[in-house]
Structure 1
Amino acid sequence: MDPSTITTLIFIGLGVLVLSVFFSFFPFMLWIAALASGVRISIIQLVAMRFRRVIPSRIVNPMIKASKAGLGLTTDQLESHFLAGGNVDRVVNALIAAQRADIELSFERTAAIDLAGRDVLTAVQMSVNPKVIETPVVAAMAKDGIEVRVRARVTVRANIDRLVGGAGEETIIARVGEGIVTTVGSADAHKKVLENPDDISKTVLGKGLDAGTAFEILSIDIADVDVGRNIGATLQTDQAEADKNIAQAKAEERRAMAVAKEQEMRAKVEEMRAKVVEAESQVPLAMAEALRTGNIGVMDYMNLKNIESDTKMRTSFGEDAVDNNNLDGDQ
């Protein structure tokens, strides 16, 4: 290839590279689009955005939409929100949607909601088109002990004035569940709840559950009501079983105390028998000592033996008579 041709190609390539770098830093096409849309912004302002680490397209494109909608925003407002970490495009879309829905909403308010982490565009849409939140199944027990399982649908509308600092959907669901439990629990019988489920809606809706939240509750509709377990009977059965176990434990305690008392009495009887045997073993020694010392004579000793023999004989007669009476009674 001719050296002049190669040189020409090199210069052309360098020229294209320089132009691409130049146009990427100096967004002429974006500037032309802004001018064509009626947005007065200079090329110097676009270059200055580069130095401020602001992406020009993130400012110019929303500015074009805002200008066409007649919002009257400035590039400084959009830049400050972008530098604060906000979503400029979403804020502008929310302002346009609010203007079309005749909702009074300022840029400062919208930017604050966006910086607070709320989806301001969705909030504006919810102000026009309410959202339905379905609660999980809430189980509650009426006064007759029957469980009632309720599922509700809550229709809410976003309250833009309370989006900053207001509680979310979880709080609404929790409060509605608490209201359902309270209403069902105050019913005398579960049949009344089944006959008039709209009483739950009226009672819960009248409690002002949307206070301090980012929503306004429009209606609470009962989607489903079912009868669950007989919790009262279950509790009574459990209580009876617990009482039976307590009674059994007390009876076992008394039996153990009786056994211990019986063993204690047996030990005392055995101790007394041992003492008697020990005392009886001392009698012959005492008699021998009395004879040796002359405290009693031989005739006294013989009379004592006769008395013992007579006592044993009478005892034997008495035992025989008792046995005969028992035999006669058996016959």
Structure 2
Amino acid sequence: MKKILITIFVFIITFGIFSSSYVQSNILNVLIKSGIENNQIFPEEDALSVLVCGSGSPLGTAVAQTCLLVKAGDKKYVVDIGNGSVNNLMTWSSDLLEDINGVLITHLHSDHIADLGDLNLVTWVTRDRKQQLEVFGPEGINDVVSGYNLAFSRDSNFRYLHHGNQIADPLTGGMTAKEIEDGSVIFEDDNLKISAFKVFHEPIEPALGYKFEYKDRVLVISGDTRYDSELIKSFKGADVLFCEVISPDIVDRFIKVAEQQNDAKLKKILVDILDYHISPLDAVDLANEAGVRHLVYYHLTPTLPTEIRFLSDKFFFAGVDEAIENWTASTDGTMVVLPSNSKEILISEIN
């Protein structure tokens, strides 16, 4: 009986404290502060690092669509910018979007460009951007960037009229497009080289992958592609290969459900996507042939809820453990760090 009375007393005291407006106000202040704090995400050490800001696909859940943020020394590049990825970056730390040197688009599917307008806005108005945002991509990127600039032109003007030059300088607003071809060198200095290579995503042509060479470390990003042995030469020498992936097993399960529901349109889409993405084991074959040291799967198709990944990954990546030793199935918040002058590959989750 005494224990019950003590428990009731503690509950009443606790309830009384938390029902106090003063206490509630202070709790709210702490929550607001934590929501806008600029947390240190990337390591301070000199490295080539990648943060997965979107690991999903158009067929999926609340997981953000394709996006990688690459940091090489003091330079930062966004590779693809699918729906939900900007929200991830802003949630983790708005400093992640400070001093973005450029955006690299692999191809012009909507799930790779959907957040481009938001990325332009937040790097312009909330960050101290010194010039227009440069967007690199394959043939057609000029149309995409021009379209976004036009769609956001009134919004940009309203923000200038409201906040003035100090916040929304028209000279640094908007984006500029830089069309590139496979084999192009996008950037090169004494420490960093970024180049593009052809991938195979027919009928979407051209489609590109990207290679980052920073000091003695090498990162390769596949973009969307089917299997082709030509990719081996582009993947060679990579410490880490980020390779998109589709699970024929999981897609087949979706197809069966579509058939049961007489959803002919969904079934057609699911059947079609099987021939222009790469399976987990085909990605392993390419990685092994190219001598890749660590394979990271991203852009998982279909994207299943994070809550069931402990179960679905067993079937999605069946056979991978037996075929390759060093691999990771990424999710939003996966971070890979390649310290310079080292062979280390550090993998963590920021969520």
User: In which range does the TM-score fall when normalised by the shorter chain?
Assistant: under 0.3
Higher relative contact order (CA 8 A, sep 6+): 2
Q: As a proportion of its length, which structure holds more helix? A: 1
Instruction: Determine which structure has more spread, i.e. the larger CA radius of gyration.
Output: 1
TM-score (norm 2): 0.19
